[in-house]
Structure 1
Amino acid sequence: MNDYDLVTIVGPTASGKTEFACHLAYDLNTEIISGDSRQVYKSMDIGTGKDLKDYIVNGRNIPYHLIDIREAGDKYNIFEYQHDFHKAYTEIKSRGKQPILCGGSGLYIESVLRGYSLVNVPEDKELREKYENYTLPELKKILESYKALHNTTDVDTAQRAIRAIEIEEYKKAHPLEQNEFPPLNSLVVGVDIERELRRNKISKRLKSRLEEGMIEEIQNILDKGVSAEDLIYYGLEYKYITLYIEKQLTYNEMFSQLEIAIHQFAKRQMTWFRGMEKRGVHIHWIDATLPMEEKTGAVKSLLIK
């Protein structure tokens, strides 16, 4: 059929990529590997947009991997993701199937497609104590002093910025060794959604998720003993709703700031995907508004070329 190792579906939040990937998996009789940095956590369902109902297509359950594999409160990282991805990838390939990688975490996706050489960076308590009282703008300024950042988009909290500094400092003292995993030859398909439509869908979806119980979901995680600081670390919904629960924001402030943050996040996602293209990853963009049959048909046509 083709010599692709897998199919990759990327796109910004609210573009409909998960539903698209599930219908494609149904047609190809295959399985999906999640490329989302937060869907690995159990109990974090509404806020991360797992949309598990999408994994049922025409009555058939589409097998998925790397969702609900860690406890809320854990600190999962790209090094662990790369190893977990290849375990799932190898298992799916052993069944004679072509995996579909789907997600919006560009760094995670690019790390496996291009075979990034990574190390498991340990926690540096001394460094964390040094920067614990720095503001996010101050930390971002420090990050700008490094020539080649491992991640330039996902530092929307002080904790994440400190972690990024931690990684850069570790890399200075520990040169990276030869790649452990090879690059993969993937057909990469991007879901192209017009900016205003994306913004409207994000706003509508946020209201819907709040009505579905997103605040209650986060309150339940806090009640189970996960600290507010750990939830804030995850950013976006978990940051702003935790601040609301902790009475640091009013409901209207939470909604407004979170809505803006999600719009900014979607913009950063698209910036990352465009950067991937500049770094040599060819992405076939497909209009998000096309009927599902046309979208899946377009991918199947690319696979047989």
Structure 2
Amino acid sequence: MNEPQEFTLVIGATGTTGSRVAAQLAAGGRHVKAASRRATPVDGSRSVRFDWGDPASFEGALEGTDRVYLIPPLGDPDPAAVMLPFLHQARSAGVRRAVLLSSSAIPAGGPAVGQVHQALPGLFDQWAVLRPSWFMQNFTGNHTHARTIRADGTIHTAAGDGRVGFVDADDIAAVAVHALTETQAPDTDLIITGPQALSHSDIAAILTDVTGRTVTHRRLTYEQMRDRLAADIPAEFATLLADMDQAIAQGAEDRTTDTVQRLTGRPPRTFRAVAERELGRLRS
């Protein structure tokens, strides 16, 4: 007999937002299936194997699930090819609510996950698409920026003086939990930002102050950034990311929204607060 339809499936439950979503749901007393390729145990959750590249893993992950938090396959320039078949299967299996992690830089019908965004309202009774700005954790976790900061105190971008409403992953997760658990899902897309729009030079200055180590922003041309990225990731995805830097330089991300305050009841965290929380211990 199938288990009751009461679990929230969190895909990417060991990742930056997925781990936070799973933890916040479990802390709130929700039944959570924490999905990852190795079925890694997550406190308060039931671990389950899930791999976008292995459709045989879908059925077990979906059993007993009535809502799902969706993290697209990382680095895939065409995630719709694997995500849409899964979403049709999820609907047939009894999933009625889906919350998708997208990006502020990608609208419905746009490239990559924008195709999944466009399809979501026709697939589920209740849905939301989270479109966060760039993560503050890009500078503190395991992102390329964080690695070059640790290696030689540099941030490389083609974003120029363009500003971004960088957002804390904890705040993204809090919005996701709201969208997953409220009586009615938002049924819309949500632009999620922090409280300030900052340039990468602003970020470097804050990191320098918080850590006591000099961090600088190295400005690259579009072509230099594209080629630098293409050394480590597929060329098509490298071009997409370089395009996003170029859009930042042109002002596309220079904005803030009230989404975190409006949905969670508290203001979004500042970059300085996140840097002090996650990197303050590095001050020598």
- Whether TM exceeds 0.5 here: the answer is no
Alignment TM-score, normalising by the size of structure 1: 0.30
Between Structure 1 and Structure 2, which shows a larger proportion of strand residues? 2
